[in-house]
Structure 1
Amino acid sequence: MELQNVSRWYGNVVAVNDVSMTLGPGVTGLLGPNGAGKTTVLHMMAGFLAPSKGKVTLDGGATWRNPGVYRHLGLVNEREAVHGFLTGYEFVLASAKMHKLPDPAAAAKRAVELVEMTDAQDRRLETYSKGMRQRIRVAAALVHDPQVLLLDEPFNGMDPRQRMHMMSLLHALGDRGHTILFSSHILEEVEQVSGTVQVIVAGRLAASGDYREIRRLMTNRPHVFAVQSSDDRRLAVALIGEESVSGVEIEATGMIVRASDYGSFTRALPRIALKEGIRLRKLLPSDESLESVFSYLLEA
């Protein structure tokens, strides 16, 4: 899946502005504050919206006005528009029939089992909880085993057990070579499912790739490390003279070290500790979480 200099505007309102990205096999998280343009990007990828400018392609073919892409693509959008009078199984079976699968009943059964909804498959959708509706919609999107899966807020309404199962399922699909893009406003979910992110802020692509690597490229912000050693005070004195260290604080549980350069500091620390005869017990980057990266990107 590829976006090349894609923009989408509504009158004078620019929803997506010159976004380029390439998605390959594996699981990628799509991040951004409310109104950033995430859903617009997903809808252009799924062929629901035409880009005002640029190209959106799947295996080289345009997604807009190209029904053939749906043989290789599955979508779960944020809206929960389902026919409440259908049972869960009937809903997934209808999707299998629309895809003209050779054995739609068997495909529907496999998809329902995949999302652990077999026990409730004969109940009407109108009796389902929000999390159950979400899972049966994922089953309908997976019934034809698409190579690309697009999910808009897929964990909405799920309880912790359901959420963990869905995370495991996405991991397994990604490991099998499927291309999965899912949006979420809960950073912990993205962090657990995928380290690879596409971050959209105000309609623009703010960052792309592994969020840990993105953090290390932010040279304008000091990197913060939690350090414990056999002699924190002596190590702190030695570190103050190191060029890559911009600050050291002694705490009851160890040291907080601020470094201007990630690589230089992590190479210098063991050398300095060895020279001083100090044993290192802990070295942990403490602001390398996805939450830190996301907040830094928003501030920028």
Structure 2
Amino acid sequence: MTELQLAGVSRWYGNVVAVNDVTMTLGPGVTGLLGPNGAGKTTLLHMMAGFLAPSRGAVTLDGEPTWRNPAVYRRLGLVSEREAVHSFLTAHEFVLASAKLHKLPDPEAATRRAIDLVELADAQHRRIGTYSKGMRQRARVAAALVHDPQLLLLDEPFNGMDPRQRLHMMDLLHSLGDAGRTILFSSHILEEVEQVSGTVQVIVAGRLAASGDFRTIRRLMTNRPHVFVVRSTDDRALAVRLIGEASVNGVELDATGLTVRAGDYGAFTRALPRIALDSGIRVRHLLPEDESLESVFSYLVEA
């Protein structure tokens, strides 16, 4: 059973801290690394893959350090976010080169198997330069899988894929995880992680903000305080009615309208139309003020 461990891992560049004191253990199955752009996901993946040395702490694969240890690549596959594919090669040539670099006993058979896994057999002899972005992604995944690694790291693997390609890739990751492989993929899109992974690691500003079962963390996100801007035909009367609503934590009234703080997103958005209708008030404007991914993830740091 392959296990990747990070113990108090930090990475900084001069005065800039990219990853700050992250500790986690990854075992068999699919884990999502979730966080907004610039959170430190790529830096963390590069340390896991042995491309970067931790400034502090340790990254080990089955007890062996990943940094300056080429032997780990027999068990590790990486699909980086940046495309590093020669456009003049065919997918078959590209994956075969990876198989030969790994010194596999039958590189042709391994290449065929990997290409079939990502459903590129019909296009494998076309130059990669003619591929769509989603097809190039699949060719890169095939190259990472050609040596049948026990650990697969993928940085934003669904970028550029059409809906059918995304569904196939999700099914592939599921099947690899169910077969006992350790899979970690990064994403800044909540729905991608929800569809693929039951386990999630949430990283915000280089720190591990939450870790564990996706449903539990999703509930934290849903139940966090929400701020709404409301405009109506009678803001003062609406404020009086809203302050008595159980889902509302606070109401501020000024010349521009209402700012409402709600503890339960669903309960408030259901209650507002009822209260307005009962009071004969027309709501002209309702806008969530803090629904960016950054605000959602930042809440988890404080939760």
**TM-score, scaled relative to structure 2:** 0.74
Give the paired residue count. Answer: 240
Q: Quote how far apart the aligned CAs of 1:56 are.
A: 0.2
Taking the TM superposition and a 5 Å limit, the aligned residue runs for 1:194-273 are 194-214=197-217, 221=224, 246-247=246-247
Distance 1:215 1:293 in 2: 13
In structure 1, the residue matched to 2:151 is: 148
Distance 1:257 1:220 in 2: 10
Native 8 Å contact 1:247 1:257 kept in 2: yes
Per-residue deviation, residues 172-207 of structure 1 (Å, max 9, x unmatched):
000001100001122111110012111110110000
Native 8 Å contact 2:36 2:297 kept in 1: no
In structure 1, the residue matched to 2:58 is: 55
Distance 1:257 1:19 in 2: 36
Distance 2:91 2:122 in 1: 10
The answer to whether the aligner puts 1:102 opposite 2:83 as a matched pair is no
Taking the TM superposition and a 5 Å limit, the aligned residue runs for 1:59-70 are 59-70=62-73
Q: Quote how far apart the aligned CAs of 1:128 are.
A: 1.0
- Root-mean-square deviation (Å): 2.4
The answer to whether the aligner puts 1:137 opposite 2:146 as a matched pair is no
Per-residue deviation, residues 22-42 of structure 1 (Å, max 9, x unmatched):
000010111111111000000
In structure 2, the residue matched to 1:298 is: 298
The answer to whether the aligner puts 1:74 opposite 2:86 as a matched pair is no
Per-residue deviation, residues 208-255 of structure 1 (Å, max 9, x unmatched):
011222355789848xxxxxxxxxxxxxxxxxxxxxx9559xxxxxxx
Of residues 180-189 and 87-96 in structure 1, the stretch that sits farther from structure 2 once superposed is: 180-189
Cα distance, 1:125–1:16 mapped onto 2, change above 3 Å: same
Distance 1:130 1:219 in 2: 33
Per-residue deviation, residues 126-154 of structure 1 (Å, max 9, x unmatched):
11111110000000000011000000010
In structure 2, the residue matched to 1:160 is: 163
The answer to whether the aligner puts 1:112 opposite 2:115 as a matched pair is yes
Distance 2:125 2:223 in 1: 57
Native 8 Å contact 2:114 2:142 kept in 1: yes
Q: Quote how far apart the aligned CAs of 1:292 are.
A: 10
Gaps of 5+ in 1: 223-244, 249-255, 259-290
Distance 1:46 1:96 in 2: 18
Percent of aligned pairs sharing the same letter = 79
SS at match of 1:74: strand
SS at match of 1:172: helix
SS at match of 2:81: coil
Pick from 178, 181, 186 the counterpart of residue 183 of structure 1.
Answer: 186
In structure 2, the residue matched to 1:16 is: 19
Native 8 Å contact 2:8 2:58 kept in 1: yes
The amino acid that maps onto 1:136 is A
Distance 1:293 1:216 in 2: 15
SS at match of 1:214: helix
Per-residue deviation, residues 65-98 of structure 1 (Å, max 9, x unmatched):
0000000000000111111111100100000011
